Amino acid sequence: MGALSAELSNQLLSTFGNRFSISQALREQHGHGESHHAQAIPDAVVFAQSTDDVVETVRLCSAAGVPVIAFGAGTSLEGHLTAVHGGVSIDLSQMSQIIRVSAEDLDCTVQAGVTREQLNAHLRDQGLFFPIDPGANATIGGMAATRASGTNAVRYGTMRENVLSLTVVLPSGKVIRTGGRARKSSAGYDLTRLFVGSEGTLGIITEVTLRLQGVPETISAALCSFESVEQAVSAAIAIVQLSIPVARMELMDRSLITAANAYSGLSLRIEDTLAFEFHGSPVSVQEQVELVAEIVTDHGGKDFEWANAPEERNRLWKARHNAFYAVVSQRPNARGWSSDVCVPVSELSGCILKTRALLENCSVPAAILGHVGDGNYHVVFAVDPDNKAELAEVAAINKKMVEHAISVGGTSTGEHGVGTGKIGYLRQEHGDAVELMALIKNAIDPKGIMNPGKILPG
């Protein structure tokens, strides 16, 4: 792949003016996400404001054989944004237009740079909301590109279930739409699902059409603590197996509770904890609450602590969303290493107990949390990025956790994506299907300019 030549630099400057930059500070900002992965900075940054801007950038870079890396809010955790082969970072954050909302059809179309918080603020007065909630105020384009999910996944699913169609700029500069607004289609290949989760390696998502939900009539939230993580996970599994439609069911181990209390100014009981949220009519919510209360009591859970007022619920979930930063804040100048796996719910208890055992002698602060209702859990470590021994120790723990998850029918990543961080596990998980992925990549992106070095080995 080619480097950014003076000719290409002049072409981009002529086209975009002050929305093109080779500033060292901007390039460094666009060369990493939130996690511990080493920075790899692009040669230049272009701030796109429309699909046409992305088309022109991709067209010029394709002609020169220069890589392009899509950048949204910079919240990714597995090295998706690093410019491992240099190139041009296309910042989509100024593509922040909510193009249309259809309350009747419960859908909307937004530009890729719209954030989830921005969208939900816009929808609030219409009695609607977008339920996918990965914690960070990520962009919708980035969430689609990484197939994100979050705390509401147990009831509302992930981006895979909630994206109806995409506008995508291909490596050639051609623009396609992957579908319409119909809730189902049997026409041709499912291109929407191909690009959801492709992490910018097949094309750049510029517009997204999403499913929406009506704001529930009643919302109730609660915390329940347990003397052991095994009890908490067993209760969560029982709730899932009885098909109780909880909206959120989050595990926070006692290490995380300690960190969250300090970081968010809370005074939660320092025990392994499940946090719940219930959505529906007053009658259905009451029924859910009673069933869940009975189950958690049977599994050793202690009294519910209710958070029914909106400000109390928001404070609770903000503390959960800040879990990454809460763990990292326990050490000066630390970086976060956040890993996630997802396993069949029947395997969840064994996997979390194995992970807890791996953490017993870990020399760095670490905590377990996760969306246990769908078998997805995370471990967050606070690491010194310059301490090679420490990084090797955490890498070894991460490797054992991931390989065990795959061995019981799970996946190396439930929602963070592959990026550069999970490439080494792809063949172990997918076998010869990786070769088919490579064929698809080479067919769509023969020059290999789309976010190279991500997802696929080699």
Per residue in 62-98, pLDDT (tens digit) is 999 999 999 999 999 999 999 999 999 999 999 999 9
State the pLDDT confidence band at 185, using cuts at 50, 70 and 90. Answer: confident
DSSP structure class, residue 275: E
State the pLDDT confidence band at 183, using cuts at 50, 70 and 90. Answer: confident
Whether the CB-CB separation of 94 and 436 falls below 8 Å is answered with: no
Record the tokens describing residue 104, joined without a space: 């009747």
* Identity of the residue numbered 24: Q
Question: How confident is the model over 3-32, as pLDDT tens digits?
Answer: 899 999 999 999 999 999 999 999 999 999
Record the tokens describing residue 114, joined without a space: 């719209």
* Identity of the residue numbered 93: S
* Identity of the residue numbered 316: L
What are the Cα distances from residue 99, in Å, to 120, 181, 410? 14, 14, 38
Taking the CA of residue 379 as centre, how many other CA atoms within 13 Å lie in the half-sphere pointing to its CB?
A: 26
State the pLDDT confidence band at 186, using cuts at 50, 70 and 90. Answer: confident
Average of per-residue pLDDT across 229-246: 94
Give the angle 45-47-49 at the CA atoms, nearest 5°: 160
Taking the CA of residue 267 as centre, how many other CA atoms within 13 Å lie in the half-sphere pointing to its CB?
A: 0
pLDDT of residue 193: 96
Is residue 438's pLDDT more than 90?
Answer: yes
Neighbouring residues of 327: CB distance < 8 A, sequence distance ≥ 6: 255, 256, 259, 336, 365, 366, 367, 380, 381, 382
pLDDT of residue 182: 82
pLDDT of residue 362: 96
Strand order in the sheet with 163-169: 98-102, 107-111, 204-211, 163-169, 175-177
Residue 251 three-state SS? strand
Please state, as a whole number, how many other Cβ atoms lie within 10 Å of the Cβ of residue 209. 23
pLDDT of residue 240: 92
Is residue 2's pLDDT more than 80?
Answer: no
State the pLDDT confidence band at 306, using cuts at 50, 70 and 90. Answer: confident
Long-range (24+ apart) CB contacts under 8 A made by 2-5 are 2/64, 2/65, 2/66, 3/43, 3/66, 3/86, 4/43, 4/44, 4/64, 4/66, 4/86, 4/87, 4/88, 5/64
Task: Report d(CA 16, CA 99) in Å as an integer.
Answer: 23
Using CA atoms of 40, 41, 43, 48 in order, give the dihedral in degrees to the nearest 10. 120
Average of per-residue pLDDT across 395-420: 96
Question: How confident is the model over 371-404, as pLDDT tens digits?
Answer: 888 899 999 999 999 999 999 999 999 999 999 9
348 φ, ψ to 5°? -65, -45
Across the chain, mean pLDDT equals 94
Q: Which secondary-structure segment (H or E) carries 165? A: strand 163-169
pLDDT of residue 458: 64
pLDDT of residue 320: 87
Which residues is 379 bridged to in the sheet? 339, 368
Average of per-residue pLDDT across 223-243: 94
CA gyration radius for the chain? 22
* Identity of the residue numbered 311: E
State the pLDDT confidence band at 1, using cuts at 50, 70 and 90. Answer: low
User: Which three-class secondary structure string do you get for 316-342?
Assistant: HHHHHHCHHHHHHCCCCCCEEEEEEEE
Record the tokens describing residue 354, joined without a space: 């194995």
Which residues is 339 bridged to in the sheet? 379
